[in-house]
């Protein structure tokens, strides 16, 4: 007797179900996608015990006839494709015909449905992959599927499910993505009577984002719309002040299908570049439309991963679109202000900084003893706020010596780069410095707001854009070293650096192997921060050793960041008023004056109304 046998249909169905039905969220995804393919405008999902006891999905779509509902539970039965060529132009969410038979194989399933053409509905019950009953029932147009006791006949799979809360989080995530993909469909998700999501179905994506992430996030989202020869994009990207610790909040919807794609996610992060703090990710919902022939959705059992025929082109275009959109915005974060509600009619006192007084302050720039401010702040108080070197009168000898000792000639005056000449550089309001706090933060004002500026972050941004410009222009002005210094490495580091050390020449660092475990530095760019050359080169070598895949562009960007951090003024450095003015002037000329190269905010805004709220003048 031969060893090869054909599996019984029941066992084969259970094995096949394992590829499609991993957990309750898988069932919800398949059933909701079927409802969307049926043209539903209203979908209701009800769960009990995280979906283990009950998953119920109701819709008002096309429904099925009695003949169709019997055929729908056969393996590979589908109404979505007819021929081989249809596989290369798929527009529906489902197409394989595996969902219903796979779910029915590992649960007790009842399907009630009625098509538009019929006056009576059909009910069919399946248990463990076997049809138990079929009958006619009264039912509105659409489909109602109830899945009970999921995995009751596959205890091994049941054992590996997580807690109820974990399973609910997976379901919620799936429904959230589907709701964002279809803002014109009303979704309602309930778990044991508690509403987890409810959308309006009015076609406005921002309303879905608000229902999922809340009002604060929705207000911080920037609309995005762009067209390419092969792609169309619309959606929202979050302001850099709203971030998360995970890439999970970047959502891609390709032809209304949620997909995961590492390269596209990286394209979004490249679009934000230095606007994001280290290890923080943006919130984004990006809807891409393209010819179905350009995307292959048949590469993953759950259809969560796709392949693009023009992936590189799409990635480059997406990065540019996001970068250009962010460059149009003033990305100054607002200071957090706690407020309380008051009864209607309660008196609200207004505080205004008169515009004529603000203009007088601007006219007083550069004149230490004649700095005029709104009359509500007494001059005696202001004198205590200003740093010693900015007050009228003689400068104390101790302070003068300290200032002269720490101020290099180029502290606030590096040349300014023209990083992106097509972008208007004027992205900040006209700022007038008033004082310095703890030698670290500059207090400045515009016509209608007060600003706190992190002087190190601001100076770092100025230097970063300068160094980026120098590196991109391939400035060949190098400093030949009369006394070359040696960088010593471990044997492992030397081995790794063998194939990479010539790459450092792209940022102006000339290395030469010297012995088994060291390199000699022969020259470096003449504009390297003075006194920090050796430490900087050592840090760049460490960075190169940490990264397996390197590009010259990435190395240049990292070099610019490291140099800017070394060159910028540090905290606890007291500045004269003319130094503060110079720094703010150069910051205003930056392409991106809002964050340092590592994504930290440069300045925070307190509007007049924010200040009124803090002092309870406005409730």
Tell me: the pLDDT tens digits for 9-49? 666 665 555 557 888 998 999 999 989 988 999 999 999 99
Where do the structural domains in the chain lie, given as residue ranges? 9-198, 205-328, 428-618
Of 375 and 66, which is predicted with more confidence? Answer: 66
- Helix (H) or strand (E) run with residue 110 in it: strand 108-114
128-137, 239-248, 334-343, 541-550, range with the lowest pLDDT: 334-343
Q: Cα–Cα distances in Å, from 81 out to 48, 116, 565?
A: 34, 22, 58
Do 205-328 and 428-618 share a fold?
no
Is residue 239's pLDDT more than 60? yes
Contact 457, 602 (CB under 8 A): yes
- Please name which of 567, 570, 576 lies closest in space to residue 400, comparing C-alpha atoms: 576
Is residue 164's pLDDT more than 80? yes
| CATH 3.30.565.10 holds for 9-198 | yes
The pTM of this model reads 0.73
Going by pLDDT thresholds of 50, 70 and 90, the confidence category of residue 178 is: very high
pLDDT value of residue 137 = 93
Of 392 and 557, which is predicted with more confidence? Answer: 557
Alpha carbons 149 and 127: distance in angstroms, whole number: 10
Per-residue pLDDT averaged across 340-367, rounded?
38
Alpha carbons 282 and 302: distance in angstroms, whole number: 26
What's 428-618's CATH class?
A: alpha beta
Per-residue pLDDT averaged across 163-185, rounded?
92
pLDDT value of residue 380 = 34
288-302, 406-420, 543-557, range with the lowest pLDDT: 406-420
Is residue 305's pLDDT more than 80? no
Q: Which three-class secondary structure state does DSSP give residue 107?
A: coil
Share of the chain above pLDDT 90, in %: 37
pLDDT value of residue 321 = 95
Of 381 and 449, which is predicted with more confidence? Answer: 449
pLDDT value of residue 521 = 85
Mean pLDDT of the chain: 78
Is residue 148's pLDDT more than 80? yes
* CATH topology (fold) of 205-328: Ribosomal Protein S5; domain 2 (3.30.230)
Pairing of strands 518-525, 603-607: unpaired
Tell me: the pLDDT tens digits for 432-491? 999 999 889 999 999 889 999 999 999 999 999 988 888 877 656 777 887 888 888 787
Alpha carbons 128 and 248: distance in angstroms, whole number: 35
- Please name which of 334, 365, 369 lies closest in space to residue 433, comparing C-alpha atoms: 365
Per-residue pLDDT averaged across 312-341, rounded?
83
Share of the chain above pLDDT 70, in %: 76
Per-residue pLDDT averaged across 109-125, rounded?
92
pLDDT value of residue 144 = 95
pLDDT value of residue 404 = 39
Where would I find the H helices in 106-194?
155-159, 164-181
Torsion of CA 573, 577, 581, 583, to 10 degrees: -10
pLDDT value of residue 301 = 56
Pairing of strands 186-191, 42-48: parallel
- CA atoms within 13 Å, Cβ hemisphere of 569: 27
Q: Which three-class secondary structure state does DSSP give residue 588?
A: helix
pLDDT value of residue 529 = 74
Tell me: the pLDDT tens digits for 499-515? 777 778 878 888 888 87
pLDDT value of residue 162 = 78
pLDDT value of residue 560 = 87
pLDDT value of residue 82 = 53
Tell me: the pLDDT tens digits for 561-619? 888 888 888 888 889 999 999 999 999 999 999 999 999 999 999 988 888 888 888 77
pLDDT value of residue 476 = 60
């Amino acid at each position: 007797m031969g060893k090869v046998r054909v599996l019984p249909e029941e066992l084969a169905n259970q094995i096949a179900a394992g590829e499609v039905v991993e957990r309750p969220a898988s069932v919800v995804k398949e059933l909701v996608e079927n409802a969307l393919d049926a043209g539903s405008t209203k979908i209701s999902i009800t769960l009990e015990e995280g979906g283990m006891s009950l998953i119920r999905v109701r819709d008002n779509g096309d429904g099925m006839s009695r003949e169709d509902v019997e055929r729908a539970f056969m393996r590979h039965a589908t109404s979505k494709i007819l021929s081989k060529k249809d596989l290369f132009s798929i527009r529906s969410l489902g197409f394989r015909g595996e969902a219903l038979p796979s779910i029915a194989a590992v649960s007790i399933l009842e399907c009630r449905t009625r098509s538009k053409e019929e006056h009576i509905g059909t009910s069919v019950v399946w248990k463990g992959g076997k049809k138990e009953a079929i009958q006619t029932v009264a039912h509105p147009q659409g489909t109602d599927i109830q899945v009970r006791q999921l995995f009751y006949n596959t205890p091994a799979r049941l054992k590996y499910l997580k807690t109820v809360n974990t399973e609910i989080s997976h379901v919620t995530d799936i429904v959230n993505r589907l709701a964002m993909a279809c803002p014109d469909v009303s979704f309602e998700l309930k778990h044991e009577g508690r509403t987890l999501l409810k959308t309006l179905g009015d076609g406005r994506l921002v309303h879905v984002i608000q229902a999922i992430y809340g009002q604060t996030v929705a207000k911080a989202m920037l609309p995005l719309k762009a067209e390419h020869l092969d792609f169309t994009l619309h959606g929202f990207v979050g302001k850099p002040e709203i971030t998360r610790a995970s890439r999970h909040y970047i959502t891609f919807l390709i032809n209304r299908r949620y997909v995961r794609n590492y390269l596209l996610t990286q394209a979004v992060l490249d679009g934000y570049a230095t606007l994001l703090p280290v290890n923080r990710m943006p919130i984004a919902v990006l809807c891409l439309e393209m010819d179905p022939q350009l995307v292959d959705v048949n590469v993953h059992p759950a259809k969560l991963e796709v392949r693009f025929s023009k992936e590189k082109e799409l990635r480059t275009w997406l990065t540019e679109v996001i970068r250009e959109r962010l460059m149009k915005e003033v990305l100054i974060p607002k200071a957090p202000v706690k407020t309380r509600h008051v009864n209607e009619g309660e008196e609200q006192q207004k505080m205004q900084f008169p515009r004529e007084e603000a203009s007088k302050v601007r006219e007083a720039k550069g004149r230490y003893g004649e700095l005029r401010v709104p009359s509500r702040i007494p001059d005696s108080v202001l004198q205590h706020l200003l740093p010693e070197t900015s007050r009228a009168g003689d400068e104390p000898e101790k302070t003068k010596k300290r200032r002269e000792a720490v101020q290099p000639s180029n502290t606030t005056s590096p040349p300014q780069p023209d990083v992106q000449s097509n972008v208007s550089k004027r992205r900040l309001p006209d700022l007038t410095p008033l004082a310095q706090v703890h030698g670290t933060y500059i207090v400045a004002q515009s016509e209608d707001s007060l600003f706190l500026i992190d002087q190190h972050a601001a100076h770092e941004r100025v230097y970063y854009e300068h160094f980026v410009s120098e590196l991109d222009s391939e400035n060949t002005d190098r400093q030949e070293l009369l006394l070359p210094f040696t960088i010593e490495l471990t044997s492992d580091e030397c081995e790794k650096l063998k194939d990479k050390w010539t790459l450092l020449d792209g940022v102006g660092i000339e290395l030469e192997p010297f012995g088994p475990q060291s390199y000699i530095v022969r020259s470096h760019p003449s504009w390297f921060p003075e006194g920090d050359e050796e430490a900087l080169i050592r840090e760049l070598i460490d960075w190169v050793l940490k990264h397996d895949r390197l590009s010259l562009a990435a190395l240049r960007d990292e070099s610019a960041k490291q140099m800017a951090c070394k060159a910028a003024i540090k905290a606890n450095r007291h500045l004269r008023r003319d130094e503060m003015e110079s720094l703010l002037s150069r910051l205003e000329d930056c392409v991106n004056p809002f964050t340092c190269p590592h994504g930290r905010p440069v300045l925070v805004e307190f509007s007049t109304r924010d200040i009124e709220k803090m002092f309870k003048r406005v409730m």
